[in-house]
Amino acid sequence: MDKIDFTGRVAVVTGAGGGLGREYCLALAARGAAVVVNDLGGSTTGEGGSTDYADRVVDEIRAAAASAQLRQRGHAAAGGHHPCRYGQLWTRRRCHQQRGNHATRASGSSPRATSMRCIRYTSKVLFSSLSPAYRVMVRQGYGRIILVSSQSGIFSGTPSAATTVPPRPAMIGLMNVIAQEAPGRRRSQLSVPNAVGGRSAASRAMFDPTRNSWPAAATKVPHYIEGMHPSFVAALATYLASERCTTSQNMYSVLGGKYSRIFAGLTEGWYHPGSTAPSAEEVAAHIPQIDDRSRYDVPRSGLEEMDTVIALQKRLASRN
Ligand SMILES: NC(=O)c1ccc[n+]([C@@H]2O[C@H](COP(=O)([O-])OP(=O)(O)OC[C@H]3O[C@@H](n4cnc5c(N)ncnc54)[C@H](O)[C@@H]3O)[C@@H](O)[C@H]2O)c1
């Protein structure tokens, strides 16, 4: 299998000092990318800031590069294999002053105020982070944007998480817009990760069955905890960021070692002909057909959803 290689490419990783971001940086740098390590470093309630988290990752990349160079010399001396190359390291630790994820748990605010703040800052940070990268992508006709969402907000609303869940599905809309505006060799994807070790997301303690915080999840932990290291998520992100990935506008979940595609589908549904709307009772009578998931479409745009109506009309006409 050809090795995925990022030599000559630049990767900008935001939240790079966290559990997932760190792993992305290490994986991309190990494959030759020049990595921009961006992390604001403050508390999980949005206060303060420091370069400590970014610095640690920078040091790790440098140490890994140094040991790879040593290995390379060893291999060369032994007439060995092509060395693992490390890209030039770029560090820019305080690119954006707005806080995104950090605003999600602002202490002392009402849930509504915190939620509004979270949504506002998430959008601001997304746009201020993405716009410069997007402009470069358009100019050079190449690039990949990988947004991170969460199973909360897509499959479930985690209990007591009204402040953090609402912005998550917004990433789907953003991914769709970028994917449709930037065709060609420019891609936009969404990853829905699950990993332990981060500061603000899942930690092993959270899944501790002796704690009452999340007992329903704790009972399932023994079945998947092995696959919860951030490197499982980084493997997917590395592929999505690479030239090997030729698709766009896809969403992928990583949980406990299982990689799956997530999609928004439309059931074939029920068609009511004519220009007079059905009654509520008629809709109620057809709910089993409307809910039936045995046939479905996965449109990628509003136009493709229109095609599903036309296709159903044609199918019904050919049956009559
Ligand atoms: N780990 C998971 O299981 C999981 C699941 C779903 C979604 N996510 C999301 O993925 C992201 C990373 O998760 P993690 O576990 O690595 O979290 P983490 O808390 O360990 O890391 C997040 C990092 O982002 C930095 N940060 C916050 N706001 C920033 C900003 N505006 N600019 C630059 N850096 C900023 C923080 O300093 C922190 O180091 C988070 O947004 C998280 O909500 C994680």
Can you list the alpha helix ranges (DSSP code H) found in the chain?
19-30, 52-77, 111-140, 170-181, 215-218, 221-224, 230-241, 280-285, 287-291, 302-319
Residue 281: pLDDT band with limits 50, 70, 90: very high
Question: Which comes out higher in pLDDT, residue 111 or 199?
Answer: 199
Closest alpha carbon to 11 in 103, 119, 178, 146: 146
Q: Assign 253 a pLDDT band (cuts: 50, 70, 90).
A: very high
pLDDT confidence tier of residue 88, bands split at 50, 70 and 90: very low
Q: How confident is the model at residue 94 (pLDDT cuts 50, 70, 90)?
A: very low
Indicate whether 99 pLDDT > 60. no
Task: Indicate the average pLDDT of the chain.
Answer: 82
Nearest residue (CA) to ligand 1, atom 15: 198
Asked if residue 199 has its Cβ within 6 Å of ligand 1, the reply is: yes
Q: Which of 36, 38, 39 to mutate to test the pocket of ligand 1 (most atoms within 8 A of CB)?
A: 39
Q: According to the per-residue pLDDT averaged within each range, which of 44-48, 65-69, 97-101, 187-191 is highest?
A: 187-191
Q: How far, in Å, from the CA of 105 to the mean position of ligand 1?
A: 12
Q: Which residue has the tokens 């950090």?
A: 102
State the pLDDT at residue 213: 53
**pLDDT, tens digit, 9 for 90 and up, residues 135-188:** 889 899 999 999 999 888 888 766 666 767 878 888 899 899 999 988 788 899
> Facing residues of 13 across strands?
37
Question: Is any atom of ligand 1 closer than 6 Å to the C-beta of 23?
Answer: no
Instruction: Give percent of the chain with pLDDT exceeding 90.
Output: 50
Residues sharing a CB contact under 8 Å with residue 76, sequence separation 6 or more, in sequence order: 83
In three-state secondary structure terms, 43 is coil
Portion of the chain with pLDDT greater than 70, in percent: 77
